Amino acid sequence: MKHPNLDVKKITIKETDAYRVRVESWESISPQGLFAVDIIQECLDPEKNVTESSAYNFHMTREEIKTLCEGLLSV
């Protein structure tokens, strides 16, 4: 569970009947200027309940996030 004072940004990248990929991110309290980025993959049952979940956590600066985005857009 994340601290309630964190400003967590959430987006869903892709969702089908069987799975969902979403991203959650927030700025770290310490050290300053570092962002936590969680990429979460979830398997869904027919009622859209999560049956399995995998999370990949990265800590990056704003510049590193920008480089990642530029790389993804160039594919």
Distance CA 27, CA 33 (A): 7
Q: What is the pLDDT of residues 28-74, one digit of tens each?
A: 888 889 999 999 999 999 999 999 999 999 999 999 999 999 999 99
Residue 24 lies in a domain: yes
Residue 13 lies in a domain: yes
Strand order in the sheet with 34-44: 9-15, 19-27, 34-44, 50-61
Residue 62 lies in a domain: yes
In this structure, what CATH number is given to the domain that contains residue 51?
Answer: 3.10.450
Instruction: Work out how many domains the chain is built from and give that number.
Output: 1
pTM tops 0.85, yes or no: no
Question: Where does the pLDDT of residue 6 fall: very low under 50, low under 70, confident under 90, or very high at 90 and above?
Answer: confident
Residue 53 lies in a domain: yes
Residue 46 lies in a domain: yes
Radius of gyration of the chain (CA): 14
Q: What are phi and psi of 47, to 5 degrees?
A: -90, 10
Residue 60 lies in a domain: yes
